[in-house]
């Protein structure tokens, strides 16, 4: 599990958000009053560690999580500045909603905000699906980045 680098100054202009809106999918910031809904959705679909990271990212002003919603339900999320500043993630899309561009749109939305608030690059820490990040945002591998900041992690009991 290595880290990847995203050049924020070379992001595509469009996030694909408009095309998703035509299918009834909204990409938007998660609001503080929705934190409990985000936590329970991330816990159900992913892991307790991602609940913790999303909770930290949500404590920024403005909150550092974007969600995808359909029929008033969360179907995906992405965070930035969670475990470390300058990092994007965790992120995930509900299994039944994958392959439609939701992950890419969420990621681009968060990265565009990172560029707007002053970052030049973003790091994806401890990458799983490297090919997704390469395709979606032109991310490149960071040499000698494993283990990165995610080391000596306490196991779930």
Q: Whose Cβ is closer to ligand COA: residue 32's or residue 73's? A: 73
Degrees to nearest 5, angle at CA 92 with 86 and 98 = 135
DSSP 156: P
- Residue 78 pairs in a beta bridge with 66, 91
Residue 132 beta carbon to ligand COA: minimum distance, rounded to whole angstroms = 4
Residue nearest to ligand COA (CB): 103
- Find the helix packing angle between 102-116 and 130-137, rounded to 10°: 60
- Give CA–CA dist 155/49, Å, rounded: 10
DSSP per-residue letters across 90-152: EEEE-GGGTTSSHHHHHHHHHHHHHHHTT-SEEEE-S-S-HHHHHHHH--EEPTT-SS-S--S
The reply on whether position 89 binds ligand COA by CB under 6 A is yes
Pattern 100-119, ligand COA, x by CB under 6 A:
xxxxx---------------
Pattern 122-151, ligand COA, x by CB under 6 A:
-----xxx-xx--xx---------------
What part of residues 15-54 is at the interface with ligand COA (CB under 6 A)? none
Residue 99 beta carbon to ligand COA: minimum distance, rounded to whole angstroms = 5
Residue 14 beta carbon to ligand COA: minimum distance, rounded to whole angstroms = 13
Q: Whose Cβ is closer to ligand COA: residue 14's or residue 32's? A: 14
Q: Where along the sequence are the contacts to ligand COA (CB under 6 A)?
A: 89-93, 98-104, 127-129, 131-132, 135-136
């Amino acid at each position: 599990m290595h880290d990847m680098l995203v050049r924020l100054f070379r992001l595509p202009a469009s996030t694909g958000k408009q095309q998703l809106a035509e299918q009834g999918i909204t990409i938007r910031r998660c609001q503080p009053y929705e934190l409990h809904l985000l936590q329970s959705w991330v816990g159900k679909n992913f892991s307790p560690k991602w609940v913790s990271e999303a909770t930290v990212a949500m404590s920024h002003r403005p909150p550092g999580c974007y969600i995808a919603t359909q029929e008033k339900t969360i179907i995906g999320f992405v965070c930035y500045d969670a475990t470390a500043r300058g990092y994007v993630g965790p992120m995930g899309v509900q299994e039944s909603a994958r392959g439609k561009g939701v992950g890419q749109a969420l990621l681009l939305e968060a990265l565009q905000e990172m560029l707007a608030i002053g970052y030049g690059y973003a790091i994806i820490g401890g990458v799983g699906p490297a090919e997704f990040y390469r395709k979606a945002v032109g991310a490149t591998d960071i040499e000698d980045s494993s283990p990165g900041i995610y080391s000596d992690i306490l196991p779930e009991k």
